[in-house]
Amino acid sequence: MPATPYLRIDLARLRRNIAVAAELARGGDVALRPHVKTHKSVEIARLQLAAGAVGISVATVGEAETFARHGIDDIFVAYPLWLDDVSAGRLTDLTGDARLAIGVDSVEGAANAGRLLGGSTVEVLVEVDCGHHRSGVRPEDAGAVAAAAARTGLRVRGLFTFPGHSYAPEALATAAADESRALQEAAGSLRAAGVEPRVVSGGSTPSLAHSDLSTLTELRPGVYVFGDAQQWELGSMTPDSIALTCCSTVVSHAGGRVVLDAGSKILGADRAPYASGFGRLPEHPDARVVLLSEHHAVVDLAGAPLPPLGTRLDVVPNHVCNAVNLVGTVYAEESGELRPWPVAARGLNA
């Protein structure tokens, strides 16, 4: 058994989560292109592809390189990259091995990509802001960006958005409705500019079940493979579907509370405004992680008797993508056996 803290995957639950999303996409006749930033694991990407995913989404060129190197041959960098000579060269180097697309969200970004990728097979998707207000153009401006890309000779595959405002209580369905509306308007804007969107891509784990599969042609959820305390608290996944936990040890009873050796350097420091603490304990659903530092989680057990020092306890991180990125290895458990899986694209921010 590895020393605590370590991240453990329940492989049966992971497989089930992968199957559920694959079935949702199949039932709606849309493509599934999971975002692998969540797990950064070649083993898990292969399970997703085996279940019917058409390819993968990544966030960075480094992630694309890692998965292409392991034979995954259909990759969308779902990010409005600002390319330079070096990153453009890294992308074109991959086109021998993989079908590749990137995001753009401005006329300047499209022109820059066209200048640097011109003549390559790299396609572009225009990013649309559907209400998250992070990156992405307004739906009515999508056509201008697509036209700018097309003018440079780039092939425009279509549109994508991330309904990240689904990460709020009661927003799961409304964010999906916003997504549908924005993508429909953006598709109209593309057509008015003379570009037919072949792919209309969206989806997020919280809004997944509410996705408008008559508008979307592709879904890109990431977190659904594992789930996390955010999904638990948003109600988008049930505690018994959560497939990744941090195995930790009770090291102290200071102040009559439980102190675990899992801190922000393995759980991540995420705490959304709606989060009830810094993670959740499956064995103690009423408990709350009330204080988190780098190597301590202080847990209020809500009146339950304190487990003895040395007891092992599982913690579900708030945001699993950031937790996985903190370790070199995750441990996949099946039938009591632990298999080490490398986090192959760990830390590849560029």
Binding site for a second copy (CB under 8 A): 2-6, 37, 59-61, 79-82, 84, 86-87, 105-106, 108-109, 112, 129, 133-137, 164, 249-255, 259, 261-266, 268-271, 291, 293-296, 298, 309-310, 319, 321-322, 325-328, 347, 349-350
Burial environment of residue 101 by CB neighbours within 10 A (0 to 12, 13 to 18, 19 or more): buried
Rank residues 25 and 110 by Cβ distance to a second copy and give the closer one: 110
Helix (H, G, I), strand (E, B) or coil at 24: helix
Closest to 9 (Cα-Cα) out of 338, 279, 249: 338
Rank residues 194 and 274 by Cβ distance to a second copy and give the closer one: 274
Rank residues 205 and 217 by Cβ distance to a second copy and give the closer one: 205
* Least distance in angstroms from the C-beta of 38 to a second copy: 9
* Least distance in angstroms from the C-beta of 187 to a second copy: 19
* Least distance in angstroms from the C-beta of 164 to a second copy: 7
Helix or strand holding residue 101 (H, E):
strand 99-104
Rank residues 51 and 67 by Cβ distance to a second copy and give the closer one: 67
Q: Which residues contact 105 (CB under 8 A, 6 or more apart)?
A: 80, 126, 127, 135, 136, 137, 145
Rank residues 157 and 296 by Cβ distance to a second copy and give the closer one: 296
Rank residues 4 and 92 by Cβ distance to a second copy and give the closer one: 4
Helix (H, G, I), strand (E, B) or coil at 269: coil
* Least distance in angstroms from the C-beta of 4 to a second copy: 6
* Least distance in angstroms from the C-beta of 277 to a second copy: 14
* Least distance in angstroms from the C-beta of 271 to a second copy: 7
Which residue's entry shows tokens 């975002």? 35
190 backbone dihedrals φ, ψ, rounded to 5°: -65, -45
Q: 179 and 219 in contact (C-beta within 8 Å)?
A: no
Rank residues 33 and 37 by Cβ distance to a second copy and give the closer one: 37
C-alpha distance across the termini of the chain, in Å: 34
* Least distance in angstroms from the C-beta of 136 to a second copy: 6
For the chain, the farthest-separated pair of C-alpha atoms sits apart, in whole angstroms, at: 68
Rank residues 22 and 102 by Cβ distance to a second copy and give the closer one: 102
Task: Write the DSSP assignment of 184-196 as a string of letters.
Answer: HHHHHHHHHTT--
Helix or strand holding residue 61 (H, E):
helix 61-69
- Stated length of the chain: 350
* Least distance in angstroms from the C-beta of 113 to a second copy: 11
Which residue's entry shows tokens 């990407």? 45
